[in-house]
Amino acid sequence: MSAQALWPWILTIVGWLTAAGGGALALWALCWDRSRGRRRCPRCWYEMTGVPGLRCPECGREAKCESKLLRTRRRLRLTAAGVMVVLCGYAAVRTPDVRRHGWHEFAPTTLIAGLAATSGRTGRGLMGVAVGSRASPRSLGEWWECRRQDFAEVMRRRMRDDRTWGWHARWYVRRALRERPPDIGSLVVMPERWPRGEPIPAFSGGLSRWDLGARLSGCVLDRHGRWPDGEVVLLSACEEPARTVRVGVGLSVRGVRVWDRVIEHPIVISGRGAECLLCDRTDRTSEDVRSALRPRLELTDAGEVRLKVHDRNPDPTWLKIECGVYARLIVRVDGRIVGRGHTGTAWAWPVERPWRTAAMIWEPGAHQKMSEPGVRITISAEGDPEQAWLAYKDNPFDKPSAGCWTGRFEVGGTLDELSVPGEEFGQ
Q: Report the relative pairing of strands 296-299 and 203-204 from DSSP bridges.
A: unpaired
pTM for the full model? 0.62
Burial class (CB in 10 A: 0-12, 13-18, 19+), 235: buried
Instruction: Identify the burial level of 243 via C-beta atoms within 10 angstroms of its C-beta, where 0-12 means exposed, 13-18 middle and 19 or more buried.
Output: exposed
Residues 46, 125 within the same domain: yes
User: Do 16 and 153 reside in the same domain of the chain?
Assistant: yes
CA distance 115 to 239: 49
Query: Is residue 292 located within the same domain as residue 408?
Result: yes
Q: Are residues 291 and 407 in the same domain?
A: yes
What's the domain range around 412?
A: 275-425
> Residue 185's closest CA among 266, 131, 109?
266
- Phi then psi for residue 333, to 5 deg, are -120, 115
418 shares a domain with 302: yes
The domain total for the chain is 3
Residues 203 and 341 placed together within one structural domain of the fold: no
End-of-domain residue from the set 146, 177, 208:
177
Whether 39 and 133 map to the same domain: the answer is yes
Q: What is the pLDDT along the chain (427 residues), one digit of tens a residue?
A: 566 778 788 888 898 899 999 999 999 998 888 888 888 888 888 888 878 888 888 888 888 888 888 888 888 889 999 999 999 998 888 888 788 777 777 788 888 888 888 765 444 444 433 333 445 567 888 888 888 888 888 888 888 888 888 899 889 888 888 887 777 666 677 888 999 988 888 776 554 334 344 444 444 444 334 334 334 357 778 888 999 888 877 777 877 778 777 888 889 999 888 888 999 999 999 999 999 999 999 888 888 889 999 888 888 888 889 899 999 999 999 999 999 999 999 887 777 777 889 999 999 989 889 888 889 999 999 999 999 999 998 888 878 888 999 999 999 998 888 886 544 544 4
SS3 call for 225: coil
Same domain for 152 and 36: yes
CATH (domain of 223): 2.60.40
Name residue 38's amino acid: R
Helix, strand or coil, per DSSP, at residue 110: helix
Does residue 330 contact residue 380 with C-beta atoms inside 8 Å? yes
Q: Point out the domain boundary residue: 237, 252, 271.
A: 271
Within 10 angstroms of residue 366's Cβ, the number of other Cβ atoms is 20
Residues 301, 236 share a domain: no
- Angle 166-179/140-160 helices, nearest 10 degrees? 130
Same domain, 285 and 241: no
Whether residues 257 and 286 fall in one domain? no
Nearest to residue 321, comparing CAs of 408, 424, 400, 425?
Answer: 400
DSSP-derived 3-state class of residue 218 = strand
Q: Indicate the helix (H) or strand (E) that contains 327.
A: strand 326-333
121 and 43 within one domain: yes
| Residue that finishes a domain, picked among 218, 237, 271 | 271
Q: Decide if 287 contacts 258 (C-beta within 8 A).
A: no
